[in-house]
């Protein structure tokens, strides 16, 4: 079973892969179906990883809207024919940036706690 550290690394990896294409801007996102699918897929990974984090770890970082990322994952998985791209873009750009920053801090905290530094 994967632990919190592995799930946090999943979030970082997915966010990095999303950023690889968001840097090209909203216009490219709006017209390129492959970029849309890439970003949606990796947002699903983020949401799944968030849902698998321990309640203890999520509670320690209540400033992150964990349920929002999990909820978005559920919408992306189950409503795939009717996905509204506006919230996808917003999550992939501004919301994910905040999450990534906090997740990096969480990894440092975990590493310090576990003596990995």
- What does each of the 117 residues of the chain score in pLDDT, given as a tens digit? 789 999 999 999 999 999 999 999 999 999 999 999 999 999 999 999 999 999 999 999 999 999 999 999 999 999 867 899 999 999 999 999 999 999 999 999 988 887 776
Q: Find out whether 45 and 14 touch, Cβ atoms under 8 Å.
A: yes
3-state helix, strand, coil in the chain (%, to 5): 80, 0, 20
The total domain count for the chain is: 1
Q: Is residue 76 part of a domain?
A: yes
Contact 88, 30 (CB under 8 A): no
In a domain, 116, yes or no: no
Q: Is residue 87 part of a domain?
A: yes
In a domain, 39, yes or no: yes
| 73 labelled catalytic | yes
Does 115 fall in a domain?
Answer: no
Query: How far from chain centre, in Å, is Cα 3?
Result: 17
| Candidate list 78, 104, 113, 116, residue with the active-site label | 78
DSSP secondary structure string for all residues of 12-34: HHHHHHHHHHHTT-HHHHHH-HH
117 belongs to a structural domain: no
Q: Classify residue 85: in a domain, yes or no.
A: yes
| Options 17, 58, 67, 73, the catalytic residue | 73
Domain region containing 13? 4-110
């Amino acid at each position: 079973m994967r632990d919190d550290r592995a799930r946090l690394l999943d979030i970082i990896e997915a966010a990095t892969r999303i950023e690889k294409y968001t840097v090209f801007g909203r216009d490219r996102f709006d017209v390129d179906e492959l970029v849309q699918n890439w970003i949606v897929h990796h947002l699903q990974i983020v949401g799944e990883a968030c849902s698998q984090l321990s309640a203890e770890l999520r509670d320690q970082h209540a400033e992150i809207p964990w349920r929002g990322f999990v909820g978005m994952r559920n919408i992306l998985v189950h409503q795939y024919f009717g996905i509204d791209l506006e919230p996808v873009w917003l999550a992939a750009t501004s919301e994910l940036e905040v999450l990534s920053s906090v997740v990096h801090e969480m990894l440092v905290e975990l590493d310090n706690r576990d003596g990995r530094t």
